[in-house]
Amino acid sequence: MTRHVLTGIDGSPSSQSAASWAAGEAQRRGAPLRLLHAWPWLSPQDAEDTGDFRPGDLRPAALRALSECAERIRLDHPGLVIETAVIGDDPVDALVKAAEGQELLVLGSRGLGGFAGLLTGSVALAVAARVNAPAVLVRADRPASAHNGAVSRGEVVVGVDTRQSAGAVVDFAFAEAARRGVRLRAVHGWDPVPLWAATSWVPPRSEIAAREAAVKRLLTESLAAGRAAHPDVPLVVEVRHGSAARAVVTAGEGADLVIVGRHDRHHPLGMRLGPVTHAVLHHAAAPVAVIPHA
């Protein structure tokens, strides 16, 4: 089966930005691009093949919007294979199903960035919490050159949790840095204060330095397999004081891509993202890739 780069289109500026970024990624990977529009009120008939629309059917308008988006992308990416599809289903369910076994899913989001603003987009967050394929959320206000890959910022940033198996996340991060020909910055955030706060004891600087060195060793060990598979990728290993989310968001300022992992968290209302991944998605300005842990 051909593996696609898939993106959801709903007519919003954020989805258009995501489509532009996805096109550059599809071209970089040598994969076809699939533009998908899903809405539960679309008629269930296969109108793409028959052309037989019912009165009041929303499918023709959806098909026109997809066609216009595809034409815009072809102008910037001549030769890229582009497919379009409309599905009469809940957008979250449709995107999760369509992404099964695909190369990548790219979705749009909106926000101010930094810790003063929030990304929004309930569909994108819900999909990122459930999808089995790597999912990338792209900001609507990213410069066009950053979307299509014409200008490289020179760095991919990955947040690594040394307490969990991070193999899938690390492998994806090294592969993305190699594909772009850029440096990989592996970041782990830790806060030394809670280790001693319960006893109200302030540790000496040497104690903090020793703990930090131990954390950095664990981080380096987590990267070993990916480093061996991609020895030509320049690597920076960085331990930062503070919360894990803040460390990743701060390190990711100006990056081409920020990568975080996702451990499945079950909730009575459905799958939920972990607090660090959720915070990075809300606050990061760069595109954020969410990788399910194996």
* Weakest-pLDDT range from 4-18, 44-58, 178-192: 44-58
Identify the residue whose tokens are 């842990």.
293
pLDDT in tens, 154-188: 899 999 988 877 889 999 999 999 999 999 999 99
Name the band, by pLDDT with cuts 50, 70 and 90, for residue 32: very high
| Between 49 and 245, the higher pLDDT residue | 245
Distance, CA of 31 to CA of 188 (rounded, Å): 32
DSSP of the chain: -PPPEEEE--SSHHHHHHHHHHHHHHHHHT--EEEEEE-TTS-SS-HHHH--PPTT-SHHHHHHHHHHHHHHHHHHSTT--EEEEEE-S-HHHHHHHHTTT-SEEEEEEB---TTT---B-HHHHHHHHH-SS-EEEEETTS-HHHHHTSS--SEEEEE--TTS--HHHHHHHHHHHHHHT-EEEEEEEE-SHHHHHTTT----HHHHHHHHHHHHHHHHHHTHHHHHH-TTS-EEEEEEES-HHHHHHHHTTT-SEEEEEE--B--TTS-B--HHHHHHHHH-SS-EEEEE--
Q: Calculate mean pLDDT across residues 42-60.
A: 54
Name the band, by pLDDT with cuts 50, 70 and 90, for residue 74: very high
Q: What angle do CA 134, 174, 77 make, to 5 degrees?
A: 65
pLDDT, mean over the chain: 82
Taking a C-beta distance cutoff of 8 angstroms, is the pair 219, 184 a contact? Answer: no
Strands 235-241, 257-262: pairing kind: unpaired
The pTM is what?
0.84
Name the band, by pLDDT with cuts 50, 70 and 90, for residue 199: low
Distance, CA of 174 to CA of 225 (rounded, Å): 10
pLDDT greater than 90 at residue 21: yes
